[in-house]
Amino acid sequence: MEQVKILIDLQEVMGQARRLNEEKQKIPLEVADLKSLFEEREASFLAAEQEFETLKQQRREKEREIEEERDKVERAKAKLMSIKTNKEYYAMLKEIEGTRRTNVAREEEFLALLVRYEDAEKRLVERKADLDEVSGRYRERRIVIDARMGSFDDDIGKLDARRRQVSNKLDPSLVRRFEMIFERRDGLAVVAARGYSCTGCHMNIAPQLFNLLQREDRIHTCPNCNRVVYYEATETEAAGE
C-alpha cells in the first residue's frame, strides 16, 4: 500500500532527525568538565589577584609610614642644633631614639610583608598562566563544538524540510496520528507483521487481522501496541509464493 510506504519513509526521516537531536543535546556535556575547570582556575586567579592587590596596598602604606618616621628623625636631629638647655637636649635625644626604634620595628614588619608580597606576586603569575592555558583549551574546544552544532542544525534543517515534503503526501489527520504514535512508541510507529506477530510489541495478531493486512488495501494498527502494521512475508511464506 502506497500510504504505508510513505509512512515508512516519514518514520525514517523523523528517526534520523530524532537521533541527530539526541546527539546534539549531548554536545554541551562534552565541554562541561572543561568549563568547570576553567571556572575553578578563574576563581583561583581572582583570589590570588585580590590577595596581591591587598598586599600591594599594605606595602605602600608601610613604606609611607617608614618614610614619615625617617623624616621625623631628621627633623628632630636638625632641631637639636637650636636647643639651649641640657634638659631639652636629652628629651629630644630620647624622642629620636624612640622614633628610631619604632622605625626599626616597622622596617622588620615591612620585610616580612615584602616576602608575602613577592610570594603572592609569584602565585598570581602562576595562576594567570594556568588560567590562560585552560582558557585556551576551552576556547579551542568551543570552536569545534560550535562547528559541530552548526553542522547538526544544517542536517536537522534538511531533514525537517524532507519531513514536510513527505508529510504533504498524506492526509493531515493520518500524519497527526502517526506523529502521536511516533512520540509515544519511542520513534517506532510503523512496523511489520510477520508470521502472525507484530514486530513492534512481539504480540500475536489475530488471523482475521493478519489476513486483512495481506490485502494491503487500508491502514491497520496493532490492537496491542497501536502501531501501524503492514504485512511482510516470512522467508517460508516468500519461498512458497
Domain positions in the chain: 1-169, 171-229
Using pLDDT thresholds of 50, 70 and 90, give the confidence band for residue 102: confident
What pLDDT, on the 0 to 100 scale, is given for residue 169?
95
Q: What is the pLDDT of residues 166-185, one digit of tens each?
A: 999 999 999 999 999 999 99
The answer to whether 17 and 163 have CB atoms below 8 angstroms apart is yes
Using pLDDT thresholds of 50, 70 and 90, give the confidence band for residue 237: low
Q: Average model confidence (pLDDT) for the chain?
A: 90
41-45, 103-107, 154-158: range with lowest mean pLDDT: 103-107
What pLDDT, on the 0 to 100 scale, is given for residue 84?
78
What pLDDT, on the 0 to 100 scale, is given for residue 99?
82
Residue closest to 188 by CA, chosen among 197, 201, 175, 203: 201
- Please report the DSSP string for 23-34 in residue order: HHHHHHHHHHHH
Burial class (CB within 10 angstroms; exposed 0-12, middle 13-18, buried 19+) of 162: middle
Once rounded to an integer, what is the mean pLDDT over residues 47-53?
Answer: 96
Strands 220-221, 197-198: pairing kind: unpaired
The answer to whether 93 and 59 have CB atoms below 8 angstroms apart is no
Of the options 1.10.8.100, 1.10.287.1490, 3.40.50.2300, 3.40.50.1370, the CATH number for the domain spanning 1-169:
1.10.287.1490
Using pLDDT thresholds of 50, 70 and 90, give the confidence band for residue 235: low
Whether the pLDDT of residue 241 is over 80: the answer is: no
Q: What is the pLDDT of residues 122-147, one digit of tens each?
A: 999 999 999 999 999 999 988 999 99
What pLDDT, on the 0 to 100 scale, is given for residue 236?
55
What pLDDT, on the 0 to 100 scale, is given for residue 239?
47
Once rounded to an integer, what is the mean pLDDT over residues 114-127?
Answer: 96
